Amino acid sequence: MDGICKVHTQFLVRTLLWFFERLYTQLAWAYDMVAWLASAGRWNRWVLSVSSFVEGSRVLELGHGPGRLLAALAHDHHSAFGVDLSPQMTRLTRRRLLQARLPLRHARAQAQSLPFPSAHFDTVVSTFPAPYITDPATLQEIYRVLRPGGKLLILHSAVPLGRRPSERLARFAVSFARSEEQLEHLRGRLQAEFQQAGFAGSARWAPVPPDKLLIFEGRRPVEKPAPALL
């Protein structure tokens, strides 16, 4: 019986992963609606909450999706750029920026090959990224485009903690994919991967009442000058 339940669970997880992958491409038009339903209406608040952690003027968003954070950063007078590989998300973002009369600073590009000069950005941010975010090639590119002392900000996961029925259902959906123990293991693994790539920082659970967000905040270290020769 346990074996049958395990097979059914694995099938459901694979089906959900297939569906969410399509949300970035063929089903991008439904992204906002599905994200709202899956988060009990909290998705946009979670995404926009990271803007308070952003530092400096030049900001790069990896995987800008439908462009809500990118638009918010531009409204806050950041020189915000975004990249996303999905042509559907690129179109949605372009439409949002045009409607808001904001600069069109976004491009289709892979995170493993960013079309920006080295040491260019004060902050690189990504919210609810796909597994590409821990690809060593991605981390190498983030390190390259950040200025020394610049900030890496990753909103990786969220756990709804309210008591309303919709919030309990959202929490059940999250726990179905990952248990509390698995989430804590994920926090440690993310921290280790980012630190191994050279970033000084930590992954932590940040409260966004009544919920909590798994956020990594790190920095590209400031290179120490070579000692002067006497």
- 95-141 pLDDT, tens per residue? 999 999 999 999 999 999 999 999 999 999 999 998 899 999 999 99
- pLDDT at residue 31 is higher than 50: yes
**Is there a contact between 104 and 80 (Cβ–Cβ < 8 Å)?**
no
User: For the chain, what percent of residues have pLDDT higher than 70?
Assistant: 77
- 37-63 pLDDT, tens per residue? 777 778 899 999 999 999 999 999 999
Q: What's the rounded Cα separation, in Å, for the pair 126 and 116?
A: 16
> Residue 47, SS3?
helix
Tracing tokens 């339903």 back to the chain, one arrives at 37
Q: What's the rounded Cα separation, in Å, for the pair 220 and 212?
A: 26
- Overall size of the chain counted in residues: 230
Q: What's the rounded Cα separation, in Å, for the pair 139 and 214?
A: 18
| Phi and psi, residue 97, nearest 5° | -70, -40
- pLDDT at residue 33 is higher than 90: no
- 6-29 pLDDT, tens per residue? 444 454 445 545 556 666 676 777
pTM for this model (two decimals) = 0.84
Chain centroid to Cα 44, Å, comes to: 12
Q: Give the model's pLDDT for residue 124.
A: 98
Q: Give the model's pLDDT for residue 79.
A: 97
CA angle at 111 for the pair 208 and 134, rounded to the nearest 5°: 60
Q: Give the model's pLDDT for residue 132.
A: 93
Q: Give the model's pLDDT for residue 165.
A: 59
The domain locations on the chain are 2-219
| CATH of the domain spanning 2-219 | 3.40.50.150
- How many C-alpha atoms does 24 have within 13 Å on its Cβ side? 13
Q: What's the rounded Cα separation, in Å, for the pair 119 and 136?
A: 18
At 104, list the tokens: 């069109």
- How many C-alpha atoms does 108 have within 13 Å on its Cβ side? 10
| Phi and psi, residue 106, nearest 5° | -150, 160
Q: Give the model's pLDDT for residue 170.
A: 60
User: For the chain, what percent of residues have pLDDT higher than 90?
Assistant: 61
202, burial (CB in 10 Å: exposed 0-12, middle 13-18, buried 19+): middle
| Mean pLDDT on 77-81 | 96
